[in-house]
Amino acid sequence: LRLLPRQRYLRAERAEVSALERKRNVLCCLITRILKVEKQLHTDNLVFRVIDACQKGELGPGLQFLSFCCHSVDVLSCVLHLLNQGYLRRQEERPHVLEY
Q: Which residue has the higher pLDDT, 21 or 64?
A: 21
CATH number, domain at 75? 1.10.10.10
What would the pLDDT profile of 21-39 be if each residue is shown by its tens digit? 888 888 998 999 999 999 9
What would the pLDDT profile of 40-54 be if each residue is shown by its tens digit? 999 999 999 998 888
Residue 28 domain-assigned (yes or no): yes
Per-position b or e across 13-44, b if 16+ CB within 10 A of its CB: eeeeeeeeeebeebbbebbebbbeeeeebebe
Residue 18: predicted pLDDT:
77
* pTM for this entry: 0.74
Nearest one of 81, 100, 97 to 25, comparing CA atoms: 81
Residue 88 domain-assigned (yes or no): yes
55: containing domain: 7-99
Residue 1 domain-assigned (yes or no): no
Residue 2 domain-assigned (yes or no): no
Residue 64 has pLDDT above 60, yes or no: no
